[in-house]
Structure 1
């Protein structure tokens, strides 16, 4: 009886320790750097900050100096022409070198993501447009190549875009679990 009681007590201690450590450990894998900036600009654009965090994690792993072979820059991997459009809409001066500034990049990227959500009316095609281009996504939807749903991502012609949308949606779910107080 004493051995059973000790095992039970040990199991309770182990469960308590794991429940304490797991969220912290998971947050090491899914950090939320630039939290204040993300929250500020996400709220300004009517976005969930955790969605912006998920896009940023997938795009750059929160590395502000990230640059793709195609020329996308910064945390949210904005193409210079997209950033120029966003800056103009926000009444900001455009400077491609400032795309490496976390605040500037997150401000422009949040605006652009919100604009795509308004344009497409749904998260999945908006994310596809963020990665694969607005014109391409409109074309796929109009021609019936893709129905715009996450369950039919296999219909998206660009493998990179399929994977991007899948990863962002997965990261978004994880961020909502790990950071329930960030909204």
Structure 2
């Protein structure tokens, strides 16, 4: 009788400790993952994602893939800031807004996120497919329009069945993977 009570208590305590350890590991793992998928510039991301009808998780994913949240990032090709906008694209986007920002303003988080969201929204609306919109964001809409007209890359002229640029393929895959991760980690 004493043996079975002691045995039962020991296993109950062990079970409680195991459940506690699993919960602690899970919480630690989530915190660890969130360190690789941070939420930064939240005020601007939420404001401009809403204004341009984008999911915040997508904007965070683009920023993570483009600059890894480095507001001072500049690519070899000249793309600038958090969402890596090209100065010519930035100038084109400003024309309809009647804004007069300089290229240096691309390194200001609010300006970069505002115009990056605007451009991403335009690409999403234009192409209807998130994957195709991301390809246009990365490679340019003229390039993607050419791919869509080419039967090697598109069967229907609307969706890409194959992306000929490896960099653009990797970019779209990276953003979509990060997008899913942000939605799961933060319920965005």
Q: Same fold (TM over 0.5)?
A: yes
Equivalent position of 1:98 in the other structure = 105
Distance 1:158 1:68 in 2: 17
Equivalent position of 1:69 in the other structure = 76
Spell out, residue by residue over 1:140-179, the C-alpha distance to the aligned partner (whole angstroms, 9 max, x if none).
Answer: 1111232335xx4xx2111100000000000000000111
Q: Is the 8 A contact 1:88 1:94 kept in 2?
A: no
Equivalent position of 2:43 in the other structure = 36
Distance 2:15 2:111 in 1: 54
Equivalent position of 2:116 in the other structure = 109
- Equivalenced residue count is 177
Please state if 1:165 is matched with 2:159: no
Spell out, residue by residue over 1:88-121, the C-alpha distance to the aligned partner (whole angstroms, 9 max, x if none).
Answer: 2333213101000000000000000000011101
Q: Is the 8 A contact 1:145 1:156 kept in 2?
A: no
The alignment's C-alpha RMSD in Å is 1.3
2:56 to 49, 52, 59: 49
Query: Which contiguous aligned blocks of 4+ residues in structure 1 show a shift greater than 6 angstroms?
Result: none
Equivalent position of 2:4 in the other structure = none
Structure 2 unaligned spans of 5+? 1-6
Per the TM alignment, residue 67 of structure 1 is displaced from its structure 2 partner at its CA by: 0.2
Please state if 1:119 is matched with 2:92: no
Spell out, residue by residue over 1:14-53, the C-alpha distance to the aligned partner (whole angstroms, 9 max, x if none).
Answer: 1221232222221111101001100001100011111011
Please state if 1:16 is matched with 2:23: yes
Per the TM alignment, residue 64 of structure 1 is displaced from its structure 2 partner at its CA by: 0.3
Distance 2:66 2:144 in 1: 19
